[in-house]
Structure 1
Amino acid sequence: MAQSSVRGKAGPEGAETAAPDGQGPSGGGRRGARRGREHGRGRRVLRWAAIVLALVILGSAGAGYLYYRHLNGNITKGSRISGDDSKVRRTRPDAAGRTPLNILLIGSDSRNSAENVKLGGSKDNRGNPPLGDVQMLIHLSADRESAAMVSIPRDTRVAIPKCVDPDTKRVYPPTEDIINTTLARGGAGCTLATWEDLTGVYIDHWMTIDFAGVVRMADAIGGVDVCVNQNVWDHSTPAQRGGSGLKLTAGHRKVKGVQALQWLRTRHAWGSDVMRARAQHMYLNSMIRTLKGQNVFTDSGRLMDLAEAATKSLTVSQEIGTVKKLYDLGTQLKSVPADRITSVTMPNVEDPLNKEHVVPQKAGSDKLWEMLRDDVPLDRNGKPSKAKSTSQPAKTPSVRPAQLGVVVANGTGSSTLAAVPGRAAAIGTVLTQAGYGRATKDASAALSQDETVVRYPSADLEGDAQGVAKALGIPLSQVERSTAVSGVTVIVGADWRTGNAYPKKSAPKAGDIPEGSDAINGADSSRCMDVYQPYRW
């Protein structure tokens, strides 16, 4: 499969010995499907940091387009999706006709090359199916003025859809497992399908990156500024073996190469995996600020080296598998101001079935996914939109309600909740009482739909579909044309599990991030990491 070329984590000898996930240096915690690979988790984050760098490089190199024709051959491509069709749809265009862009970034721990084993990977794991141990979604707003970077912990238990390996055609049946196993069940396309099922967010592209070129690119930046409040030395102690080897004095310091890897790998000195994620976000934000402040693109030799490393490291979904398309993508990403970039982690709680895993914290994660689907900025630094409504103009129905055939389907199930029995019949009764005497329930199996929608197959039925939505109190913005239906169809979603009146919802506001997200703004250079007492010197 395409991801077989994505090379895994690596680093210097003496790699960090894994401590239990979600715990401090005292022990306990989650191991999941780690296979002895815990020590490299921080390094994998640097891979997707390199993606950001690669996009900035490619997006700033229009003058060297002839040279970049050569780089096309460096890029490895794969299928966008390899899972069952999730029925997730793109966010509706804003008043100016623009849509958001969502890119899934995946760090693979594959050790299927001598190069990556040489860089520090375990020879015992060479040839094992890769795990997607870092998974982050970049959401670029429709107006291209803000961005979000959203991560899901690798040990999150999720529903994984049926996936088919695009190369071997092996079929993997649907299952429940932690999300990092999806990469071995049909490649990045299966990971993308799982994210769509979980979040309801349409994902346009995926990108994976190997580790071999990351150190070269990290060094090419010239170093990234980090900060600690106390002297730190992440080393073995009598209570906890292993450590990244990071040793810095208090204050702002510039790290590069091996030291950058050590920063990203460090967990014990920060006290927990949650704090390690914070340190990684701080590093990435600092890296973006560094790139924005540099004028590296006037140095053609340096630019060529960076571009070679970037394109050789990237594996992308096939629809963006050319330098020209990556260039177009990069020009959009690099224009977002640092103070409009927000990095967050999905709110999560301990898995009741396995304390070594986590599951989404429903209220917080649902709110986060809704903000992404509705393209609500995670920051408060933007100007108020002049035209935010996505509602469609009212159209005239083609027939009277009593003559219109309407199908009502039950879509109240979700990745974590079973469908509510009888919802299609109940809402069909509401429609009948409103004058739609030909409303019938869909007798097929229950669907999964996060948000209630009214669909219609052709333009002549748009006014009829709007009339049905009005009768049920459903916003016109949730009326959509779809070739998947043969007539006006109501799909009662997971947002309408009870009651006969469609629930009124207050739309999330910009910057109203759910608790437990540990949000960091990209322009915040004041953050410093506290060091856990045993690792101060």
Structure 2
Amino acid sequence: MTRSSVQGEDTRQGAPDAPERAEADGKTESEEPDGGAEAGRRRPRRGRRVLRWTAVTLAVLIAGTAGAGYLYYEHLNDNIKKDALNLGDNKVAAPTPNAAGQTPLNILVIGSDARDSEANQQLGGARETFGSTPLADVQMLVHLSADRSNMSVVSMPRDTLVKIPKCTDPDDGKVYPASEGRVMTNRSLGHGGPGCTVATWQELTGIHIDHFVMVDFAGVVSMADAVGGVPVCVDANIHSRDREGHGSGLKLEKGTHPVKGEQALQWLRTRYGFEDGSDLARAKAQHMYLNSMVRTLRENATLSSPNKLRRLAEEATRALTVDPGLDTVKKLYDLSDELRKVKPERITMTTMPNRYVGARVEPTEDAEQLFRLVREDIALDGKDAKKKAADEEAADVSDDPAAADDEIAVQVRNGTRTDRLGAARGRANTVTGLLVEQGFAKAVADPSVLPSEDRTVVRYPSADLEGDAQRVAKSLGIPASSVQRSTDVSGVTLTVGADWREGTTYEAPASDDRTPESAEALNGADESACMHVNPAFTWS
């Protein structure tokens, strides 16, 4: 199994006298205990931890870097490092295909704060951190919609408190027990590898993850250099260095300039000098860089040169660790071909809404709203409203005529259990009785209690039962959008969800499909963005 080693954690404080871990001065911050702030410690500023270097990885995938597959194919395949996809026991089911048979694609991109090579140590880290336990300090979920029209990106702060599930290392069989309480999410990487980070995300979000891609410090620099430069903007001269030597070392003149290689890494890691010096400002800079990278690569500036393409392919394959589903150039190319179908204006980047718990953070109710939108494949840019209405209207009428009510076999299941409440007793029997009263004589209740369903849903396995499923839904007032085709059922199956725990009349919950403001969404086509420089870090 491939491993990357990292130093302990840096804080979320934005105070100018707090050392910034692993920036150009090579100094590190002291590691804080989990769970809360020490006595007398200042409360950290409200910041957002977004991927420091994953921007390059994502952009490379979008641009189709692996399109150089015809160049020494086997050599490039040998460059790619592999690891298991999911080391946990909770295997979230893949989403149900849409009417066209398409399914969404979810990729977890992980930034390893690696100290396992001389190159990584030189780019950021103290000598004593070499060979330490790996940390997934940056994590970003990339969601590609089923119809490939839009992309949503959700990043999770590295100090988010979560429960890490039991993970088993496939190489040596070592079992890492589930965390007794909540710990920082970045520790998941040290519980057997990136597959445990995947398992942790699935436990928290309920989102099925198809693939992961992991990259380290050296990978960012090499790929950014191979790309040839990405334009970034500052509204004043900046030098990210204070009197104590803290800062990334980034030095730029006012205006727009291309950055590459180590300077690109400095941009992605700069906190001292941008706005108020918080992680929120650093996150904004990272988002701007990613957007600019995507636009640059879509214009084919890099791909027009065979030599640059070859170099980029070489550096990308060396920098990545992936799951077996992406372990060849061909597989990476196929993925990139899917990703680059999305135009920048349909890319939305967000940060998981969170609140402080001592010195750490936890997901808020808005975070669950964001996760639900991803699970239900709802675009975060809000541009799917008309499409959704059209889909529901089209779903009202099926080409498959329904059988007579008394000939439709229906199985009713109880899926009312939630994270906080047990299953409502007798719901399958109650709803079965309602169907029988309406003439569905072949309706039967399944006595077992199933995993939770947020909303009541009617599923059917094949096109010849679509009309029957829609007829069942209509008889109970269940919207057509809740009728889904699925190979997980053998016949028309109605699962009573957490939205119908009581009563005999179904009332569809009001649908709020807006992206929470606390997610701080940023559109991928925004070319006007320019980072504000803190006057204390400018020069003339």
CA distance in 2: counterparts of 1:340 and 1:315, whole angstroms: 27
Q: Deviations over 1:448-477 (max 9, x none)?
A: 444443456789987776565445443454
CA distance in 1: counterparts of 2:301 and 2:252, whole angstroms: 28
Code of the aligned partner of 1:345: T
Of 99-108 and 431-440, more deviation after overlay is shown by: 431-440
Residues 75-114 of structure 1 aligned to structure 2 (within 5 Å)? 75-93=80-98, 95-114=99-118
Tell me the TM-score normalized by structure 1: 0.81
Match of 2:60 in 1: 53
Identity of aligned residues (%): 46
The alpha-carbon deviation at position 312 of structure 1 amounts to: 0.9
Alpha carbons 2:23, 2:246 under 8 Å: kept: no
CA distance in 2: counterparts of 1:170 and 1:493, whole angstroms: 38
Code of the aligned partner of 1:429: T
CA distance in 2: counterparts of 1:237 and 1:479, whole angstroms: 63
| Equivalent residue for 1:125, pick from 102, 124, 129 | 129
CA distance in 2: counterparts of 1:197 and 1:59, whole angstroms: 31
The alpha-carbon deviation at position 166 of structure 1 amounts to: 2.0
Match of 2:260 in 1: 256
Alpha carbons 1:413, 1:448 under 8 Å: kept: yes
Residues 31-42 of structure 1 aligned to structure 2 (within 5 Å)? none
The alpha-carbon distance between structure 1 residues 177 and 306, as it changes in their structure 2 partners (threshold 3 A), is same
| Equivalent residue for 2:246, pick from 238, 242, 249 | 242
Code of the aligned partner of 1:355: G
Residues 282-293 of structure 1 aligned to structure 2 (within 5 Å)? 282-293=288-299
CA distance in 2: counterparts of 1:455 and 1:382, whole angstroms: 23
Match of 1:300 in 2: 306
Q: Deviations over 1:246-268 (max 9, x none)?
A: 23333323322332222221223
Unaligned runs of 5+ in 1: 32-37
The alpha-carbon deviation at position 110 of structure 1 amounts to: 3.4
Give yes or no for the alignment of 1:275 onto 2:289: no
Q: Deviations over 1:291-342 (max 9, x none)?
A: 2234322322222111111001111111121111111121222232222222
Which SS does the other structure have where 1:106 is aligned? strand
Residues 11-410 of structure 1 aligned to structure 2 (within 5 Å)? 12-15=24-27, 17=29, 28-29=42-43, 45-54=52-61, 56-61=63-68, 65-93=70-98, 95-175=99-179, 176-236=182-242, 242-270=246-274, 271=276, 272-350=278-356, 354-362=357-365, 364-379=366-381, 385=387, 388-389=391-392, 391=395, 393=398, 396=402, 400=406, 406=411, 408-410=413-415
Match of 2:13 in 1: none
CA distance in 2: counterparts of 1:244 and 1:308, whole angstroms: 27
Which SS does the other structure have where 1:516 is aligned? helix
Code of the aligned partner of 2:218: A
CA distance in 1: counterparts of 2:432 and 2:78, whole angstroms: 57
Which SS does the other structure have where 2:525 is aligned? coil
CA distance in 2: counterparts of 1:487 and 1:97, whole angstroms: 18
The alpha-carbon deviation at position 439 of structure 1 amounts to: 5.3
Q: Deviations over 1:203-260 (max 9, x none)?
A: 221111133232122122232222223333332357xx72222233333233223322
Q: Deviations over 1:115-165 (max 9, x none)?
A: 423433333333333111111111222332322222111122234333222
Code of the aligned partner of 1:28: R
The alpha-carbon deviation at position 89 of structure 1 amounts to: 2.7
Which SS does the other structure have where 2:359 is aligned? strand
The alpha-carbon distance between structure 1 residues 422 and 388, as it changes in their structure 2 partners (threshold 3 A), is closer
Q: Deviations over 1:500-532 (max 9, x none)?
A: 5444244456xx422111111111111122234
Of 313-322 and 484-493, more deviation after overlay is shown by: 484-493
Code of the aligned partner of 1:14: G
CA distance in 2: counterparts of 1:162 and 1:463, whole angstroms: 43
Alpha carbons 2:55, 2:286 under 8 Å: kept: no
CA distance in 1: counterparts of 2:391 and 2:97, whole angstroms: 11
Residues 460-471 of structure 1 aligned to structure 2 (within 5 Å)? 469-470=473-474
Superposition RMSD in Å:
3.9
Alpha carbons 1:48, 1:105 under 8 Å: kept: no
Match of 1:425 in 2: 426
The alpha-carbon distance between structure 1 residues 17 and 155, as it changes in their structure 2 partners (threshold 3 A), is closer
CA distance in 2: counterparts of 1:162 and 1:346, whole angstroms: 24
Q: Deviations over 1:94-118 (max 9, x none)?
A: x433222221111122323344234
Alpha carbons 2:62, 2:294 under 8 Å: kept: no
Alpha carbons 2:150, 2:343 under 8 Å: kept: yes
The alpha-carbon distance between structure 1 residues 106 and 498, as it changes in their structure 2 partners (threshold 3 A), is farther
CA distance in 2: counterparts of 1:127 and 1:471, whole angstroms: 63
Unaligned runs of 5+ in 2: 8-20
Of 459-468 and 214-223, more deviation after overlay is shown by: 459-468
The alpha-carbon deviation at position 358 of structure 1 amounts to: 1.8
The alpha-carbon distance between structure 1 residues 383 and 514, as it changes in their structure 2 partners (threshold 3 A), is closer
Alpha carbons 1:55, 1:333 under 8 Å: kept: yes
Tell me the TM-score normalized by structure 2: 0.80
CA distance in 2: counterparts of 1:92 and 1:324, whole angstroms: 24
Code of the aligned partner of 2:3: S
Of 516-525 and 217-226, more deviation after overlay is shown by: 217-226
